Structure 1
Amino acid sequence: MSKASGKPGGRKVEPGAHVVFEGRTWQVAALVGATVRLVDQEGTTASVLPAYLFADPGFEVAGVQAPASAPQWGLFETVPVKERERALAWQRHIREVETGLPAGPGSGGVPRPQYDPEQRTLAEREQAKAEEMTALGWAKVSRPTVHRMRSRYRAQGLWGLVDGRTQRSSSPTGRTDERVVAAVLEALRRQRGRSRGTLRGLRELTGQILHDTYGAKVKLPPVSTFNRLVNALADPLERPGSPARTATTAARPFTPTVALRPGEMVQVDTTRLDVMAVLDDGSLGRPEMTIALDVASRSILAAVLRPEGTKSVDAALLLAEMAVPHPARDGWPKALSMAHAAVPYERLLSLDERLAGAAARPVVVPETIVVDRGHVFVSEAFVAACETLGVSVQPAPPRQPTAKGAVERTFGAINTLLCQHIAGYTGSNVTRRGPGVAGEACWTVAQLQDLLDEWITAWQNRPHEGLRHPVLPKTALTPNEMWGALLAVSGYVPLPLSGRDYLELLPVRWQAITDRGIRINYRTYDAPVLNEHRGRPSATASRGGKWEVHHNPHDARQVWLRLPDGELTELPWIHRDHVHRPFNERTWRHIQATVEQRADREQHEADLADALDQLLRRARPAPAANTGAAAAGNTASRVRAPAAPPATVPSTKAAGAEGRAPMTEGGLQAPGAHEAVSAQAEWGAGDSLDDLEHAVGPTDGIEDRDSAPYSELTPDQGTFVLYDAYQEAEQW
Structure 2
Amino acid sequence: MNAMRRPTGIEVGSWVRFDGQVRAVTAVTTTTVTLTATNELAVVVELDVLLRGEDFAVVDVPVRQPLPAGSLLETFPKAVREKALWWEGHILEVLHGLPPGADPGTSPRPEYRSDRSLTARQRAKAAELTAAGHKVAAQTVANYRRRYQADGIVGLADHRPVRKKREFGSVDDAVVAAMRQAIAEATDASTRRGTFLLWRTAEILRQTPAGRAVKLPSERTLYRLLDKLTRNTHTFSSATTRRSRAHGASGEFGELPVFAPGEVMQIDSTPLDVLVLLDNGVIGKVELTAMIDVATRSLTAAVLRPTTKAVDASVLLARTVTPEPMRPGWVDALKMSRSVLPHRRLLTLDERLEHAAARPVIVPETIVCDHGKVFISRNFKSSCRFLEIDFLPTHKGSPFEKGHIERMLGSVASLFAQFLPTYTGRSPEHRGRNLDQGRAWSLLELQDLLDEWIVAKWQNRPHDGLRDPSHPGRLFTPNEKYAALVEACGYVPVALEGDDYIELLPAEWRAVNDYGIKIKNRTYNSADLAPMRRRHSGVTAKRGLWEIHRDPYDVSRIWVRDHRGRGEWVPAVWKHLKRVPVPFGELAWDHEARKLPGATEAEIADVVAALLTRAHAGPGRPRTGTAAKKDRRVAARTRAARPSTPLPPAVPEPEPVAEATSEEPEELAEVIPLGLFDPLENPWRRS
| TM-score, normalised relative to structure 1 | 0.44
| TM-score, normalised relative to structure 2 | 0.47
